[in-house]
Structure 1
Amino acid sequence: MKAKTFLAEIPCIVAYKDSNTFDTKKDIIITEERIALYLNGTKIISTMSIPIDQDAHAVGFLLSEGVIEKIEDITNIHVSDDGLSVFIDSKINEDNISNLYHEKTLTSGCCVGVTGNFEGKITEKFISSQMKISINKIWKLIEEFDSSNELFKLTGCVHQAVLCLENNKYVKSEDVGRHNAIDKVVGKAKLNNLDTSSAILLVSGRLSMEMIMKAGMHDIPIIISRAATTQLGIKTAQMLGITLIGFARDDKLNIYTHPARIVL
């Protein structure tokens, strides 16, 4: 696959309130593309996202939706030369893929997402992980998360997702959509055969129900966000056994569910 840029320099006029003056500059912006996903030769969906880590994005999305049940079911992954199409051959769950075509739910995403996995096995599971983490370690992770988001500092236009795994391994992804960022980071982990059942997921965006369910599909026991969560997000985390932390910024954080994993 040829490398495809996702940054562009665009001229703009800057207005300054205090001095009531104007200036010209070149602004660095994100370029998003429509990426098509083909599964077993059939196009199933297109997403608007940054044209990077397209294979991980596709894998993460399909695993999160339960269309592909485990990474070992995938027999082939190919990204087109222009970076705008992903082709996957895999054993699939026919019931779950039919949900994608059946009744779609428009999610409360910054870039409107689509999901079909709100019913079924995900609502029946409970993550009983005995994982513990100290509050001091959480503060350290938040500090590292904030300092590592270079693309946001450059453009102000992306969400970030980071998986903190055992043995100090980290997986990171960024995208214009917060759902995309999570799918990408999970896809990267699964493509590298990394276990997410003892992972901590840090995200920059708000935590609505579908974000929690994505984590639940991969048995992630702890989610931390710099932003807010919704009432249904909290309810879903409580139901799935996920420790949910929001507003992790400015020297404070809110622990909403399953606080026993946090050691003071």
Structure 2
Amino acid sequence: MPDIALSHARLPATTLVEVVDAFGDTREQAIAAERALTVYLNKREIVTLMSLGDDPEALVVGYLRNQGLLRSAEDLVAVQVDWDVEAAVVITRHLPADLEERLGTRTVTTGCGQGTVFGKLLDQTALTALPDTALAQSTLYALLNNLNSYNETYKSAGAVHGCALCQQAQVLDFVEDVGRHNAVDTLAGRQWLQEAESTSADIFYTTGRLTSEMVLKVAQMGISILVSRSGVTQKGVELAERFGVMLVARAKGKQFQAINAGQRLTLDAIPPRPPRARSSQHAMQLDKESAKDRLTAQEQTP
């Protein structure tokens, strides 16, 4: 390996966020980290990557290599990551002759399928204020039940994501695609083209993770409640708080984790708590007490 000045700026892949579960309990939940890292190649801004941040130098080098912006490891002089400014500076001995043709300012997200946002979309601040839509627990359960009859492609073939525009418990429009970003873009297009009666939608449902790009796209559609059967990322939570979006993650059956809900979530259908599994220590203590009681009973027997 050539002598390269590396920063070794590894960060934890998860972080903790406060959630309210189906029982109304507030607790901490581990979620995937999502961090922005803008890459500079010989002082030229190349791209902003969204990642966990647990191996940033390798991510940056691998991206530049696969984009054809690095010819070999021998060209590398330094890879320095500074999370305080969310930047990675890469110094090389040579640059490709067609660098200008290859470049375009863009953000590559953690999303599957399409998952690419061009331009400065994550910096956009001119969003219309979102409605303060409320959600009842019973309505959420009814919506999840109604959605079960819509994912036909997934049931028959798998390997797809589904997204839906909903008005409370009613499903207004549903789209499946190989990537969740393709599905959400299709729904947004249908709204503008008025191909669906979805202008009254106040809840967006997706089978995919609640990442920053998903939150941003839903906020741009004027919807303030985002529901998913999957988890949520750190940057997704940050943008949800910024734009006023309530996130409902891991929504399956009678379970869910609401984030940034405030007073908008009404817990009107709290399910019975499952019986707690006995810890091994507690079980051993009960066994000892039971054995002691049996011994005492035997001693008292004439």
TM category, shorter: 0.5 to 0.7
Aligned pairs, number: 164
Give the match for residue 248 of structure 1: 251
Q: Distance in 2 between matches of 1:160 and 1:246?
A: 15
Q: Distance in 1 between matches of 2:169 and 2:209?
A: 28
Structure 1 pair 247–197 and aligned structure 2 pair: CA distance change class (3 A): same
Q: Deviations over 1:88-141 (max 9, x none)?
A: xxxxxxxxxxxxx84111111122521025447733436341322211011111
Amino acid at match of 2:179: G
Q: Distance in 1 between matches of 2:129 and 2:233?
A: 20
Larger radius of gyration: 2
Give the match for residue 207 of structure 1: 210
Amino acid at match of 1:263: T
Contact 2:122–2:216 at 8 Å: present in 1 too? Answer: no
Contact 1:145–1:202 at 8 Å: present in 2 too? Answer: no
Among all aligned residue pairs of Structure 1 and Structure 2, give the percentage whose two residues are the same amino acid: 30
Give the match for residue 132 of structure 1: 134
SS of 1:224 mapped into structure 2 = strand
1:74-93 aligned at under 5 Å gives the runs none
After the TM superposition, list the runs of 4 or more consecutive aligned residues in structure 1 that deviate by more than 6 angstroms: none
Is 1:161 matched with 2:173? no
Q: Mind listing any 5+ residue stretches in structure 2 that lack a counterpart? A: 1-102, 268-302
Alpha-carbon offset, residue 142 of structure 1: 1.0
Q: Distance in 2 between matches of 1:165 and 1:119?
A: 27
Give the match for residue 189 of structure 2: 187
Q: Distance in 1 between matches of 2:242 and 2:254?
A: 28
Contact 1:201–1:224 at 8 Å: present in 2 too? Answer: yes
Structure 1 pair 206–168 and aligned structure 2 pair: CA distance change class (3 A): closer
Q: Of 103, 108, 111, which residue of structure 1 is paired with 2:110? A: 108
Alpha-carbon offset, residue 210 of structure 1: 0.5
Amino acid at match of 1:244: L
Contact 1:126–1:239 at 8 Å: present in 2 too? Answer: no
Give the match for residue 16 of structure 1: none
Contact 1:225–1:245 at 8 Å: present in 2 too? Answer: yes
- Normalized against structure 1, the TM-score is what? 0.56
Give the match for residue 240 of structure 2: 237
Alpha-carbon offset, residue 189 of structure 1: 2.3
SS of 2:226 mapped into structure 1 = strand
